[in-house]
Amino acid sequence: MRSILAVMLLATASPLAAQVATPDRPITDPQSIASPANPDARAVPLDDIGVTRSLYDAAWSADGKTMFIATDLTGRANIWRMDANGGWPVQLTQSDDAQSGLAASRDGQWLYFVQDVGGNEYYDLYRVPVAGGAVENLTNTPDRREDALLVGPTGGLVALSTKLKSEGQSNLAVMDASGKIRNLTAEKDPAYNWGAVAWIDGGKAIIANRSNVDSTVAEIWRIDAATGAATKLLAKPKTIYAASGASPDGAVLAVTTDEGTGQPHAGAYTVATKKWQWLPKTPWEETSDIVTPDGKAMFVRTNNDGRSTLARVDLATMAKTDLVLDPGRASIPGLAAISPDGTRMFVTRSGADSPTMLYAYDLAANKAIPVVPLAMASLTPATLPKSQVVTYKSFDGTPISAVVTMPFNLKRDGSNPAIVLPHGGPTGQSQDGFSRYATAFATRGYVVIQPNFRGSTGYGKAFQEANVKDLGGGDLKDTVAAKTFLVQSGYVNDKKVGIFGGSYGGFMTLMAIGRTPDEFAAAVQWFGIINWRTMYRDQDELLRAYQRALLGTPDENPEVYDAASPLTYLKAAKAPLLTIQGENDIRVPRGQAQEVHDLLKAKGNIVETIYYPGEGHGFQKRENQLDPLRRTIGWFDKYLKGE
């Protein structure tokens, strides 16, 4: 009874909480959202959405004449080679397991990459000749993960991160030309990870980040590549200092920090003088990115309420030149995205009505040059629904941003179905880019809202930490308020709203149907958490450290664990529930889905659970991407539309 009482006290006390500080922005009138008329609108075939490719990685060859991409052209995430000036891609590798983490050797002979087994996230390091040939597994270490590759300038060295299955922490290491790996660090704290950022001083040293798993602390170090001798350059308790690049001599660093603002912002740091140069202040999340090979400029990404822009910043003057890209979600894929001669840079961009496109951005002309169209021809802006970023007030007055995707041709008569789609994380963010799920729903008449509830990134440290030890509390109320916003628009039927999410979004789905059983008429959850106690017992050590940051341990905080577990509430659930789960998931183990199924089946609920062998946390094989999508659409069509 004590845990249930604690839950009741939590539920009644939370509305009295003070509003959480976030960037100022206007509140959206629900009546201002509109469904545009489009006589050509139609439901996009699910096969077309499923066949639209994903980009896993991109890399330049050592001479810049060739580019390599990891994409699922064949339904498997394999590696393809293309002429840098265009042409038909040539397949370099073939595997049922996903391949990514591309890095080309400096001698031009090899392409390095990483690959796990059935989605288990324990990657081995491989290489393949760039001209084509046999693939070699250089590590073959089932109990150790190798990833985050960064090729050195000389001597065939490759920096990488290593993690033992028995430990949470990762370490910085180097691999020599013979394939021998040597750790440079000996991290003891299971909550901390090391990653290489830049080789400096002609390959004598590495700039590396040491950061904790919950993204609240980061430090910058200089590591001697021969001895492992470490020099701390920037660090402060409860503060982020994260390097994203460096000048070749290591004199100037591109840095993201939240010091003094509680919101990440970008700066250039001169190591010898300890002096900073800053960009003009912005209330939004601003992060540094890679540095040009000549060390004269860095790139910066600004995340303005879910929409991102990229800019080039001169490190001598801090003059800023925006990259010319349409609004949406933009990013630079990887630390080696700039061509060796510094003239071009890989950039990705997507929007609600345009799937991800890879560009080779011409830096001199400041122009985006399309490289690889990844979408089916049917997925064009003319026929795909649009989106907008809205802001509504939650239970305590805190402003909550969300991405709304509106179908075409709806009547504002309160008759339409809707889907609330909470994101994973919780330290993540729904951004205004392409979502195959929002597209599939909205072209079938569902209004879709993706709320950035408290705990999300992008709105400052106070907001990001506002759900610590309150998972499924205030953040769930923010999510239910997203439904209220849609109903108030006049388009949505209060009794025809479903909820769907994966990972933490799956957890939020389970909490929603348990704690607010009358709010949602149907639910689909992919690999969500039902029981934080069994999660702590069964999951990978790194994720266990992350869970401690959010909840503490089960022994320390039993009431918190009870209050935060859907297991406590699911006996009240009414909504029909579909569960999707990968057999090899190390983040949310298979047993979580089984607990959900067994509990709801025993009480007579409508419940169905599907397991996918050879898949982990998110599905890589095309048939295993399409099947859950079809089942999810079918579930909502049946229980929200009555079809």
The secondary element (H helix, E strand) that includes residue 348 is strand 344-351
Q: How far apart are CA 124 and CA 138, in angstroms?
A: 7
Find tokens 């999810």 and name the residue: 632
What does the pLDDT average to over 100-129? Answer: 96
**Which 8-state DSSP code applies to residue 138?**
S
Q: Residue 575 has what pLDDT?
A: 98
Are 174 and 158 in contact by the 8 Å Cβ rule? The answer is yes
Res. 1 pLDDT band, cuts 50 70 90: very low
Tell me the pLDDT tens digit for each residue of 349-375.
999 999 999 999 999 999 999 998 888
Tell me the pLDDT tens digit for each residue of 29-59.
999 999 999 998 999 999 999 888 889 999 9
What is this structure's pTM?
0.93
The CA distances from residue 405 to 299, 366, 454, 468, in Å, are 30, 31, 21, 29
Reply yes or no on whether the pLDDT at 533 is more than 60. yes
**Which 8-state DSSP code applies to residue 6?**
H
State the pairing for strand pair 110-115/99-104. Answer: antiparallel
What does the pLDDT average to over 473-480? Answer: 98
- Token pair listed for 604: 């007579």
Distance of CA 625 to the CA centre of its chain: 17
What does the pLDDT average to over 188-215? Answer: 96
Which residue would you say has higher pLDDT here, 49 or 487? 487
Res. 264 pLDDT band, cuts 50 70 90: very high
DSSP secondary structure of 192-242:
EEEEEEEEEGGGTEEEEEEEETTSS-EEEEEEETTT--EEEEE--TT-BEE
| Amino acid (1-letter code) at residue 269 | Y
Reply yes or no on whether the pLDDT at 85 is more than 90. no
SS3 state of residue 343 = coil
How many residues in total does the chain contain?
Answer: 643
Q: What are phi and psi of 233, to 5 degrees?
A: -100, -40
Reply yes or no on whether the pLDDT at 400 is more than 60. yes
At residue 337's C-alpha, the angle toward residues 333 and 340, to 5°, is 175
- Token pair listed for 424: 């994973």
Residues linked to residue 205 through DSSP beta bridges, in sequence order: 200, 224
Reply yes or no on whether the pLDDT at 5 is more than 80. no
Q: What are phi and psi of 2, to 5 degrees?
A: -65, -40
Reply yes or no on whether the pLDDT at 10 is more than 60. no
DSSP secondary structure of 502-567:
ETHHHHHHHHHHHHSTTT-SEEEEES--S-HHHHHHHS-HHHHHHHHHHH--TTT-HHHHHHH-GG
Reply yes or no on whether the pLDDT at 162 is more than 80. yes
Res. 9 pLDDT band, cuts 50 70 90: very low
Q: What are phi and psi of 440, to 5 degrees?
A: -60, -45
- Token pair listed for 629: 């999508």
Res. 17 pLDDT band, cuts 50 70 90: low
SS3 state of residue 175 = strand
Q: Residue 382 has what pLDDT?
A: 87
- Token pair listed for 639: 């229980």
Reply yes or no on whether the pLDDT at 13 is more than 60. no
* Closest-CA residue to 500 (of 641, 356, 590, 635): 635
Q: Residue 86 has what pLDDT?
A: 79
Q: Dihedral sign, CA of 618, 623, 626, 631?
A: negative
- Token pair listed for 392: 């509504």
Are 455 and 551 in contact by the 8 Å Cβ rule? The answer is no
Percent of the chain whose predicted confidence (pLDDT) is above 70? 97
Are 534 and 495 in contact by the 8 Å Cβ rule? The answer is no
Find tokens 């400029």 and name the residue: 297
* Closest-CA residue to 342 (of 299, 292, 297): 292
| From 31-35, 97-101, 260-264, the region with the lowest mean pLDDT | 260-264
Res. 540 pLDDT band, cuts 50 70 90: confident
| From 1-5, 145-149, 457-461, the region with the lowest mean pLDDT | 1-5
Are 438 and 422 in contact by the 8 Å Cβ rule? The answer is no
How high is the mean pLDDT of the chain? 94
Q: How far apart are CA 261 and CA 240, in angstroms?
A: 11
Q: Check: CATH 3.40.50.720 for 385-639?
A: no
SS3 state of residue 453 = coil
Reply yes or no on whether the pLDDT at 3 is more than 80. no
Q: Residue 643 has what pLDDT?
A: 83
Q: How far apart are CA 442 and CA 633, in angstroms?
A: 11
Q: Residue 87 has what pLDDT?
A: 81
SS3 state of residue 133 = coil
Q: Print burial letters for 230-255: b (CB count within 10 Å at least 16), e (below 16).
A: beebbeeeebbbbbbbbbbebbbbbb
Distance of CA 324 to the CA centre of its chain: 24
DSSP secondary structure of 271-316:
TTTTEEEEPPP-SSEEEEEEE-TTSSEEEEEEEETTEEEEEEEETT
Q: How far apart are CA 607 and CA 615, in angstroms?
A: 22
Are 61 and 104 in contact by the 8 Å Cβ rule? The answer is yes
What does the pLDDT average to over 615-641? Answer: 95
CB proximity list for 481: less than 8 A, separation 6 or greater: 392, 393, 394, 395, 400, 451
What does the pLDDT average to over 396-424? Answer: 97
Q: Residue 375 has what pLDDT?
A: 86
